[in-house]
Structure 1
Amino acid sequence: MAIFTGPAIVLNATVIVVTLMHRQLRQPLNYALVNMAVADLGAALTGGVLSVVNNAVGYFSMGRVGCVMEGFSVSLFGITSLCTVALIAVERMFVVCKPLGQISFQSKHAAGGVALCWLWSLGWNTPPLFGWGRYELEGVGTSCAPDWHSRDPRNVSYILCYFALCFAIPFALILGSYAKLLWTLRQVSKMGCMEGGAVARAEASVARMVVLMVLTFLGSWLPYASLALLVVHNPDVTISPLVGTVPVYLAKSSTVYNPLIYIFLNKQFRSYAVPFLLCGQNPWASEEDEEENQTTIMVGPDNNRVSPK
């Protein structure tokens, strides 16, 4: 957990700091990326740091109230981050595919999407505080989360709703949005609008990025969601605490993967974040200058469309 938590704090904090420092990064299509960094930083500070401390002492040291507070905070930040990943996919699809016609993407649209992520997460993580579901120790007993084990009908109904609305729907949006984006690029490629196979190369690049995003999402969250559903479906199943802890930490590891995939692979953010981290040095500077002379597609927020450069 320390190996995951340390870099997660540094990377996400860097994204927030460089965004505050450079006005060029404060544009509508970057709002979701910064929001994801804020949510992941919150998850790392609450879930990651506390897990490191509690694992070091060997038990959950904050009592029942601390368990509820930690479970709520980690879940709030985690689901907000997960929903923001879905928001990024939807935004990219709208900007590239323009399903509603030539409607420009403005600050109010970006701010509305960010607000919806927080409200959605808050709405579905608050019920355990009032009796529908509850927060309990999980895995080896050094962290807290929604209780997957209780057979109480209220708890089971909450977990099923939680899975459907906070995992299945975001995942469906991610798949649908990126499928539409790839289909659009395929149509453009068939039209032969660009010479020299530029669109085909762009399409392959986007496809690789999409596969990486989807696989990382599944690797981080699917084991956790699957274990929860397994326990809900068969409460008598025997799962050792150690095995039950692995999916928990995989989910928390997304706080490291997200900034690396969505932000540091984004040329615009990388050009500011890497020099900030390396005291002015940028090993990718020459590579980025070369890219300026080629036709590319940027799936990041700085240029979500096919364009000649």
Structure 2
Amino acid sequence: MDIYASALSPALDIGAGCYLLVLTVLSTVGNLLVLIMAFRRSSRMKPPELLSVNLAVTDLGAAVTMYPLAVASAWSHHWLGGDVSCIYYGLAGFFFGIASIMNLTILAVVRFIVSLNLHSPKEKISWKKAKMLCMWTWLYALVWALFPILGWGRYGPEPFGLSCSLAWGQMKHEGFSFVVSLFFVNLLVPSVIIIFCYFGIAMRLYFTYKKSTNSNHVPNIIKLHRRLLIIAVLISAGFVACWTPYGLVSLWSVFNDGSKIPPEVSLLPCMFAKSSTVYNPLIYYFFSQSFKEEVKQLSWLCLGSHACQVSNSVSENDIYMVSVNLKSKDVVRETVQEITELRQ
């Protein structure tokens, strides 16, 4: 039996390939825009923003290095490249997935630290620390991705035959410790940390707002923090929601006979998980006014439309202050420092 032959119908293969092609285009364009925006204002970028850039790199990396091979395999009705490409694909998917969840966890912790003092102009996270955190996420993900190559765990084809990942069904005994460690260390613990941090930020903003009844500028800062909190929660929730169905199905196949799951059913959580690379730029665009204005300033994308021409008149302060209207010059200077320090 050819383990790399598609277990799906030809029509479903073509549909899956088209779906992955759309994800590839959307993810590549969206995350490239995030990186272009970061490059255009690199001189004004604050250290915490480097973590958001790092997250865009993980999503872009997954879309560029993995999805085209999956598209070609789907349209060929057979996994291309055999064992070598299967191990490569599984390693790349595991590598970028771990890097993403760790990056989201670090982002939550950094935002929690920043929220502890909303009014301090002092830099909370230095460039050196931000770069070290980004490097740590990649090294940590690489170590976990190499474990199956070194014998702890195993890579193999998915049940539907058009993708490769961890061979969940083959790790019932010799790889059981790997599965338990993976779900505990790289899913359960990060999820608890993310929930704790964002709940702590929400409570911090709530109590700060209660104490700010006699202040004119604190509520505006809180509104900004609330906007950033919403974006961060949506990004984290989107990633967890995309990967949870796949994780549950994979975990079920470890304890039960995975062959009982129809190929069409096993395909759905895998395709849903791959869509996680698309959501972040969309969230930035619809929930971050400054990011939307910056995108509109790229006249070569708008083909000279009126929206782009108007957006060029938006001042830097209007973009980065999110239309905060304050009177005191000292307060304005402090607030600009805080906003540029905290925004994504």
> Is TM-score (shorter-chain normalized) higher than 0.5?
yes
Quick one: which of 165, 175, 185 aligns to 2:195? 175
1:304 paired with 2:342, answer: yes
Q: What are the Cα deviations for residues 163-190 of structure 1, in whole angstroms up to 9, with x where unaligned?
A: 1122222212211111111010011011
- Structure 1 window deviating more from structure 2 (276-285 vs 71-80): it is 276-285
Structure 2 distance, partners of 1:42, 1:3, is 16
Instruction: Mark the runs of 5 or more structure 2 residues left unpaired by the alignment.
Output: 1-19, 327-334
Alignment pair present for 1:116 and 2:136: yes
Task: Find the partner of 2:92 among 65, 70, 73.
Answer: 73
CA deviations over 1:195-224 (Å, ceiling 9, x no partner) = 596577567646644553343133211111
1:193-212 alignment, distance < 5 Å: 193=213, 194-195=215-216, 205=227, 208-209=230-231, 211-212=233-234
1:17–1:208 Cα change, 3 Å: closer
Q: Distance in 2 between matches of 1:236 and 1:225?
A: 13
- What letter corresponds to residue 161 of structure 2 in structure 1? G
- Where do 1:139-218 residues align within 5 Å? 139-193=159-213, 194-195=215-216, 205=227, 208-209=230-231, 211-218=233-240
* Correspondence for 1:126: 146
Q: Deviations over 1:121-161 (max 9, x none)?
A: 11111111111111111142111111111145232221221
Say if 1:182 and 1:206, in contact at 8 Å, map to a contact too: no
AA in 2 matched with 1:66:
S
Q: Aligned to 1:260, which of 282, 294, 308?
A: 282
What code does the residue aligned with 1:114 have? C
SS of the aligned residue for 2:261 comes to coil
In structure 2, the CA distance between the partners of 1:241 and 1:174, relative to structure 1 (3 Å rule), is same
> Once structures 1 and 2 are overlaid, which stretch shifts more, 13-22 or 202-211?
202-211
- Matches of 1:21 and 1:214, distance apart in 2: 26
Written as runs of structure 1 = structure 2, the 5 A alignment for 1:76-115 is 76-98=95-117, 104-115=124-135
Letter in 1 for 2:147: P
SS in 2 for 1:76: helix
Which of residues 54, 64, 71 is equivalent to 1:35?
54
2:249 corresponds to 1:227: yes
* CA radius of gyration, larger in: 2
Question: Is the 2:156–2:166 Cα contact (8 Å) retained in structure 1?
Answer: yes
Aligned length: 302
Pair 1:242 & 2:272 matched: no
Matched letter for residue 164 of structure 1: F
- 8 Å CA contact retained: 2:62, 2:277: yes
Distance 2:293 2:174 in 1: 50
- How far, CA to CA, are the matches of 1:135 and 1:228 in structure 2? 13
List gaps (5 residues or longer) in structure 1.
Answer: none
Which residue among 54, 60, 80 is the counterpart of 1:61?
Answer: 80
Q: Supply the distance in 1 between the matched residues of 2:237 and 2:40 (Cα, whole angstroms).
A: 32
Q: Give per-residue Cα distances to partners, 1:13-67, cap 9 Å, x unaligned.
A: 2222333343345431211111111111110012222221111111101110110
Task: With the length of structure 2 as denominator, give the TM-score of the two structures.
Answer: 0.77
Aligned equivalents of 1:2, 1:301: Cα separation in 2? 37
- Correspondences of 1:21-32 after superposition (within 5 Å): 21-24=40-43, 26-32=45-51
Aligned match of 1:136? 156
CA contact (8 A) 1:264 1:270 kept: yes
Deviations 1:212-253 (A, max 9, x none): 334313321111111122122323672111111211121111
Change (3 A) 1:46 1:195: same
Distance (whole Å) between structure 1 residues aligned to residue 276 and residue 294 of structure 2:
22
Q: Contact conserved, 2:47 with 2:341, CA < 8 A, in 1?
A: no
User: How far apart, in 1, do the equivalents of 2:205 and 2:104 lie?
Assistant: 21
1:87 maps to a residue whose letter is I
**AA at the equivalent of 2:148:** P
Name the SS for the 1:149 alignment partner: helix
Question: What are the within-5 Å matches in structure 2 for residues 276-287 of structure 1?
Answer: 276=298, 277-279=301-303, 282=307, 285=311
Distance 1:34 1:210 in 2: 13
* Partner SS, residue 136 of structure 1: strand
User: How many angstroms apart in 1 are the aligned matches of 2:68 and 2:203?
Assistant: 42
Deviates more, 1:229-238 or 1:194-203: 194-203
Equivalent pair of 1:93/1:178 in contact (CA under 8 Å): yes
